[in-house]
């Protein structure tokens, strides 16, 4: 590949200027579910290529579950690896420590800091440095079928998890739906996100002074709540095999009254081409716990970074600057909300999704992180295995959490 002809500093920050580049093809890695659709990303990329003659982008989409390992494997591929990668909020500590991502702190304009939500910045930060630009600002919201709630006599959605169980019980007892609740509780990261949401609501902690603290308090209460809804017949037992798309499908078929899911579900569940309950779907913040929290949220945001072995860092940064540009994000805000604070006051962004914007204003402020440790993948795997055993009824809540803590202590 030819060397670039010029380094246009405006385009290399967050601008959209279209300098002349030598012919370069960027290899970019994205995930194939949730948040921006493949069609959205392809359209954004086509606009970028038009504005930046000479730069082509080869897009690769993989399931979220394969994203981490693809990035790690490509780290040893030299110049044949990726130039831009999408990474989860839980990976910067590992990727920075292992030298997988470039430090882009100096590339980010100073005035961008205050214009972007703090929760978005935590997606790309580790040890005082920034390893990318936040792109997907997301948390899990509570979606509910308004018709089902009205049939059961409820005018408003629950504000606490206890109220949610009460409403779900009434909906079940009236025979409106067999299982009012559906979750993504497969043995996967999706389950950890739901567990984190409930842990935050119950004012729980994962670690205190470096030691596992999830065996008691709010984290224990969170798992106990999850298990109890299964035992009470409120949660669809198939939730233990579901990921987010399964949750969307079941809820959109009218088989559940409540679902916890990411932003993207709002548009799709209200799309008649995708959903049997379109027009009946409302969204609100994940509930809180009386005396402990008014709402809850997990930080499910993702960022775009440049792998350390990319030979096209300047062109890659220009592409990242385009995708994270405020006007671009506002043009594609149906499946993923912008990282920019001012976007939430833009009537064009809010139009048709006023409920989601209202929920976002509350939820973004309370997003709770999963453990930000270099060994996160191992910690998560251990929690997934043991939480899932408890949900399957193979062990009790206390034994599951104690077993997880014992193993986590060995690796930290």
Burial (Cβ within 10 Å: 0-12, 13-18, ≥19) of residue 51:
middle
Buried b / exposed e over 233-264, threshold 16 CB at 10 Å, is ebbbeebbebbbbbbbbbbbebbbbbbbbbbb
Q: How far apart are the first and last CA of the chain?
A: 43
Q: CA-CA distance, 215 to 204, in Å (whole number)?
A: 10
Q: Does domain 141-298+375-409 have CATH number 3.40.50.2000?
A: no
pLDDT at position 6:
34
- Are residues 217 and 205 in contact, defined by beta-carbon separation less than 8 angstroms? yes
Structure tokens at 282: 């409302």
Q: Which residue in 75, 35, 94, 133 sits closest to 381, CA to CA?
A: 94
CA distance readout (Å), 355 to 116, 144, 307, 350: 21, 12, 37, 9
Q: Return the domain boundaries, the chain.
A: 24-138+300-365, 141-298+375-409
Residue 143: CB partners within 8 Å, gap ≥ 6?
A: 251, 258, 259, 260, 261, 265, 266, 269, 281, 282, 283
Q: Which residue in 125, 94, 88 sits closest to 374, CA to CA?
A: 94
pTM above 0.85, yes or no: yes
pLDDT at position 34:
72
pLDDT at 377 over 60: yes
Backbone phi, then psi, for 216, in 5-degree steps?
-145, 175
Structure tokens at 397: 């809540």
Q: Which residue in 302, 324, 307, 321 sits closest to 27, CA to CA?
A: 307
Strands 55-62 and 24-31: parallel
Please give the radius of gyration of the chain, using alpha carbons only, rounded to the nearest integer: 22
Q: CA-CA distance, 184 to 27, in Å (whole number)?
A: 31
DSSP symbol at 279: T
pLDDT at position 20:
62
Q: Could you report the per-residue pLDDT of 117-164, keeping only the tens digit for each?
A: 999 999 999 999 999 999 999 999 999 999 999 999 999 999 999 999
Q: CA-CA distance, 181 to 258, in Å (whole number)?
A: 5
Q: CA-CA distance, 254 to 223, in Å (whole number)?
A: 26
Name the percent of the chain lying above pLDDT 70.
95
Q: Could you report the per-residue pLDDT of 266-314, keeping only the tens digit for each?
A: 999 999 999 999 999 999 999 999 999 999 999 999 999 999 999 999 9
Buried b / exposed e over 360-383, threshold 16 CB at 10 Å, is bebbbebbbbbbbbbbbbbbbbbb
* Average pLDDT of the segment spanning 366-375: 90
pLDDT at 35 over 90: no
Place of tokens 């093809």: 25
Q: Could you report the per-residue pLDDT of 168-198, keeping only the tens digit for each?
A: 999 999 999 999 999 999 999 999 999 999 9
Q: CA-CA distance, 391 to 239, in Å (whole number)?
A: 10
Angle at CA of residue 194, ends 289 and 375, nearest 5° = 120
Q: What is the CATH number of domain 24-138+300-365?
A: 3.40.190.10
CA distance readout (Å), 133 to 87, 172, 306: 10, 44, 10
Structure tokens at 264: 């993207």
CA distance readout (Å), 285 to 50, 218, 243, 308, 356: 39, 19, 20, 38, 9
- Are residues 140 and 340 in contact, defined by beta-carbon separation less than 8 angstroms? no
SS3 sequence, 373-406?
Answer: CCCHHHHHHHHHHHHHHHHCCCCCHHHHHHHHHH
**Confidence bin at 18 (pLDDT 50/70/90):** low
Place of tokens 């005082």: 128
């Amino acid at each position: 590949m030819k060397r670039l002809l010029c380094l246009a500093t405006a385009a290399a920050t967050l601008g959209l200027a279209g300098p002349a580049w030598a012919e370069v093809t960027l290899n970019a890695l994205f995930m194939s579910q949730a948040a921006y659709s493949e069609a959205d990303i392809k359209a954004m990329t086509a606009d970028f290529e038009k504005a930046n003659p000479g730069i082509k982008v080869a897009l690769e989409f993989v399931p979220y579950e394969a994203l981490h390992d693809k990035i790690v494997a490509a780290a040893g591929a030299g110049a044949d690896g990726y130039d831009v990668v999408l990474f989860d909020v839980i990976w910067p500590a590992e990727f920075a420590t292992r030298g997988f991502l470039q430090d882009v702190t100096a590339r980010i304009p100073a005035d961008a800091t205050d214009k972007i939500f703090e929760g978005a910045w935590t997606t790309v930060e580790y040890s005082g440095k920034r390893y990318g630009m936040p792109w997907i600002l997301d948390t899990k919201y509570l979606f509910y079928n308004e018709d089902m709630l009205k049939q059961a006599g409820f005018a408003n959605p629950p504000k606490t998890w206890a109220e949610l169980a009460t409403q779900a019980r009434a909906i079940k007892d009236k025979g409106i739906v067999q299982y009012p609740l559906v979750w993504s509780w497969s043995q996967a990261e999706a389950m950890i996100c739901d567990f984190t949401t409930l842990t935050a609501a119950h004012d729980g902690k994962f670690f205190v002074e470096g030691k596992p603290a999830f065996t008691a308090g709010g984290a224990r209460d969170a798992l106990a709540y999850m298990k109890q809804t299964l035992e009470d017949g409120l949660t669809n037992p198939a939730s233990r095999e579901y990921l987010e798309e399964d949750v969307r499908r079941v809820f959109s078929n009218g088989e559940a009254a409540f679902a916890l899911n990411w932003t993207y579900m709002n548009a799709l569940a209200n799309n008649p081409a995708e959903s049997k309950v379109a027009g009946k779907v409302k969204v609100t913040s994940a509930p809180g716990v009386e005396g402990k929290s008014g709402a809850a949220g997990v930080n499910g945001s993702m960022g775009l970074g440049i792998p350390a072995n990319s030979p096209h860092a300047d062109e890659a940064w220009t592409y990242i600057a385009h995708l994270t540009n405020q006007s671009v994000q506002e043009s594609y805000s149906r499946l993923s909300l912008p990282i920019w604070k001012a976007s939430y006051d833009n009537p064009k962004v809010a139009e048709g999704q006023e409920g989601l914007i209202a929920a976002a204003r509350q939820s973004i402020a309370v997003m709770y992180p999963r453990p930000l440790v270099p060994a996160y993948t191992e910690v998560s795997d251990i929690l997934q295995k043991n939480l899932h055993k408890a949900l399957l009824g193979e062990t009790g809540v206390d034994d599951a959490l104690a077993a997880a803590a014992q193993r986590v202590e060995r690796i930290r």
